[in-house]
Amino acid sequence: MRGHAHPPIPRRVLTPFTLLAAAALAVLPWASPASAHGSIIDPASRNYGCWERWGDDHLNPDMAQEDPMCWQAWQDDPNAMWNWNGLYRNNVDDDHRGAVPDGQLCSGGQTEGGRYNALDEPGAWKTTDVGSDFSLHLYDQASHGADYFQVYVTEQGYDPKTEPLTWDDLELVRETGSYDPAQDITFDVSAPGRTGHHVVFTIWKASHMDQNYYICSDVNFT
């Protein structure tokens, strides 16, 4: 999301279709967007991007054709989008590979009772255009700070449309030091030698406790 320091709260547009569908689905325990955590908003994480594009029109059936990966994610669990900033695991003790198995990286090892499982699905996720050198922007309303960020990018030849993401698909391209508490943290990474659709996998270890965020962002290296 370029040009916006802070994500807006989504305004829901109620068409006759959405009113009817909302009545039918009113029993679902949808939550408002969580306010205590954060995520990478540029290039947008998978669930943040789905919330940003469809949070005000999430029952629109056109999504199935226009944005099918977001459609399947909304159908699987709408709370994954409303809580785009809550994809974390506690008490990992820096053993990220042990906590998050292959094929479950984008859901943080099926954290939060499987709320984010749809984010692990291979497919044509919407991408953000980037060059070999680009910046990541974390938005964290609670200003947790960071012990570190680890940024991985998939290697050339990996196909995010058909292959589940594994640790062996990734190259570590940046590990940062610590950051003081702030709502907005931006830092640069470099991932040369890539073209086309790739996944940027960011691990953010917050500073207030052993709380670890696992964030998949889809990019297109131009």
Q: What is the pTM of this model?
A: 0.86
8-state DSSP, 33: P
Q: Is 34 exposed, middle or buried (0-12, 13-18, 19+ CB in 10 A)?
A: middle
Q: What is the pLDDT of residue 36?
A: 57
Average pLDDT (7-18) is 43
Instruction: Say if 190 falls within a structural domain.
Output: yes
Instruction: Say if 104 falls within a structural domain.
Output: yes
Reported as a single tens digit per residue, the pLDDT across 37-69 is 899 999 999 999 999 999 999 999 999 999 999
Instruction: Say if 32 falls within a structural domain.
Output: no
Q: What is the pLDDT of residue 166?
A: 98
- CATH number reported for the structural domain that contains residue 90 in this entry: 2.70.50.50
Instruction: Say if 28 falls within a structural domain.
Output: no
The more confident residue out of 12 and 135 is: 135
Q: Which domain holds residue 89?
A: 37-221
Q: How far apart are CA 124 and CA 127, in angstroms?
A: 9
Instruction: Say if 27 falls within a structural domain.
Output: no
